[in-house]
């Protein structure tokens, strides 16, 4: 087995600024931690500002002098997404990285976003689609500056990037265009698998559209393998089920990936000079479930279906009212 990329291979990130959705815990926190450790300014964009502030305090203790900021962002509310994006666009600091990390995993009962979308599709897919489109002008401005001024990081031109965090669960996913919101027969796992397939397809479609436009922005995707994060716990999980899910998480951490290990593919996509536009990365051990490293990941055939990706993109535009590229 070849040696994959690890955080030991990560170049300094001084001068770069990253927004990480769901950066207060799990993979998002460890992504923010390593970016900060390597000199980047990080913004923890989280549904709970209080939890984000706690995470920022903890991160500051691990990385003294870290440049870390917090912001409230509820991806289950397009109003919140618009508000966050407007505030970000008004800030003078550049934006180099948008890491679409936050996610909801398989609530046992069907729940809805503020706009009435099924919670997983609305949060994991539509929230990030809208956020990416609204922040694209700022990423384009940064790309123009990097190209024009020749800004370098460790001797490399590190252009702005959008990173979608998908999942190996995408391999079992199907886009239910006749019922994207699972209004007729809700399945927690099928809805999650659909959302992660959609995330990967949107990352690829964004890359195609950026290349067609001649943009220098990179669109990439990653998956963490199977890692123990609080993604497996929602407010719907209580009592015995919550205890069992917590226990399962501890077992997964010992047998499969930790949150820190699961963040490595995301960090590769965000920071490695060798990451390719339209690339998809994950760990390589035990059928891509563990490893603490990053290599090109396997892509299920449906994720490469460009016709369905175009249809998905149009559906996201119609549902969010946000059109770009």
Distance between CA atoms of 66 and 42, rounded to whole angstroms?
9
Average pLDDT over residues 49-63: 98
What confidence tens digit (pLDDT) does each residue in 110-161 have?
999 999 999 999 999 999 999 999 999 999 999 999 888 765 554 455 899 9
pLDDT at 290: 73
Instruction: Establish whether 105 is a catalytic residue.
Output: no
Strand partners, 295: 282
- Asked whether residue 2 is assigned to any structural domain, the reply reads no
Q: How many CB atoms lie within 10 A of CB 246?
A: 15
pLDDT at 259: 84
- Asked whether residue 243 is assigned to any structural domain, the reply reads yes
pLDDT at 98: 98
- Asked whether residue 12 is assigned to any structural domain, the reply reads yes
pLDDT mean across residues, the chain: 90
What confidence tens digit (pLDDT) does each residue in 231-241 have?
544 455 455 55
Distance between CA atoms of 43 and 114, rounded to whole angstroms?
24
- Asked whether residue 323 is assigned to any structural domain, the reply reads no
Can you give the CATH number for the domain in which 289 is found?
A: 3.40.50.720
- Asked whether residue 65 is assigned to any structural domain, the reply reads yes
Bin 154: left if φ > 0, else alpha if -120 < ψ < 50, else beta.
left
Could you list the residue range(s) of the whole structural domain that residue 237 is in?
7-318
Catalytic residue among 192, 280, 281, 324: 192
- Asked whether residue 97 is assigned to any structural domain, the reply reads yes
Q: Of 54, 69, 16, nearest to 38 (Cα)?
A: 16
Residue 43 · residue 35 · CB < 8 Å: no
pLDDT at 31 over 60: yes
pLDDT at 152: 53
Specify the number of domains making up the chain.
Answer: 1
- Asked whether residue 265 is assigned to any structural domain, the reply reads yes
Q: How are beta strands 97-100 and 161-165 bridged, if at all?
A: parallel
Residue 287's pLDDT band, with cuts at 50, 70 and 90, is low
What confidence tens digit (pLDDT) does each residue in 214-260 have?
999 999 999 999 875 555 444 554 555 555 555 555 555 555 568 89
Which two structure tokens, joined as six digits, stand for 292?
């603490």
Residue 146 · residue 161 · CB < 8 Å: no
**Per-residue CA distances from 94 to 51, 221, 225, 236 (Å):** 25, 22, 31, 38
Distance between CA atoms of 208 and 167, rounded to whole angstroms?
21
pLDDT at 247: 56
Residue 2's pLDDT band, with cuts at 50, 70 and 90, is low
What confidence tens digit (pLDDT) does each residue in 61-85 have?
999 999 999 999 999 999 999 999 9
- Asked whether residue 325 is assigned to any structural domain, the reply reads no
For residues 3 and 169, which has the higher predicted lDDT (pLDDT)?
Answer: 169
Q: How are beta strands 41-46 and 17-21 bridged, if at all?
A: parallel
Average pLDDT over residues 311-323: 98
pLDDT at 233: 44
Distance between CA atoms of 36 and 27, rounded to whole angstroms?
14
């Amino acid at each position: 087995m070849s040696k994959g990329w690890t955080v030991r291979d990560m170049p300094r990130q001084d001068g770069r600024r990253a927004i990480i959705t769901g950066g207060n815990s799990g993979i998002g926190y460890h992504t923010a931690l390593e970016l900060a450790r390597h000199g980047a300014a990080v913004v923890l964009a989280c549904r709970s500002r209080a939890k984000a502030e706690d995470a920022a305090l903890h991160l500051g203790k691990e990385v003294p002098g870290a440049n870390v900021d917090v912001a409230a962002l509820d991806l289950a509310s397009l109003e919140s997404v618009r508000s966050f994006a407007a505030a970000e666009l008004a800030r003078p600091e550049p934006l180099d990285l948008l890491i679409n990390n936050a996610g909801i995993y398989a609530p046992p009962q069907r729940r809805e976003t503020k706009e009435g979308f099924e919670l997983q599709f609305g949060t994991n897919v539509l929230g990030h689609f809208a956020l990416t489109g609204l922040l694209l002008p700022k990423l384009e401005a940064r790309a123009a500056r990097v190209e024009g001024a020749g800004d370098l990081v460790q001797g490399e031109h590190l252009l702005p990037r959008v990173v979608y965090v998908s999942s190996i669960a995408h391999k079992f996913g199907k886009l239910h265009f006749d019922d994207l919101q699972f209004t007729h027969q809700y399945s927690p796992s099928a809805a999650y698998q659909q959302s992660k397939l959609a995330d990967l397809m949107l990352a690829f479609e964004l890359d195609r559209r950026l290349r067609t436009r001649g943009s220098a922005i990179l669109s990439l995707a990653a998956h963490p393998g199977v890692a123990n994060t609080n993604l497996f716990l929602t407010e719907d999980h209580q009592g015995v089920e919550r205890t069992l899910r917590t226990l399962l998480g501890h077992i997964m951490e010992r047998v499969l990936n930790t949150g820190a290990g699961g963040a490595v593919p995301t960090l590769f996509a965000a920071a490695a000079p060798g990451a390719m536009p339209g690339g998809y990365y994950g760990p390589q051990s035990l059928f891509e479930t563990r490893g603490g490293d990053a290599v090109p990941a396997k892509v299920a055939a449906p994720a490469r279906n460009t016709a369905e990706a175009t249809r998905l993109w149009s559906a996201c535009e119609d549902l969010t009212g946000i059109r770009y590229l």
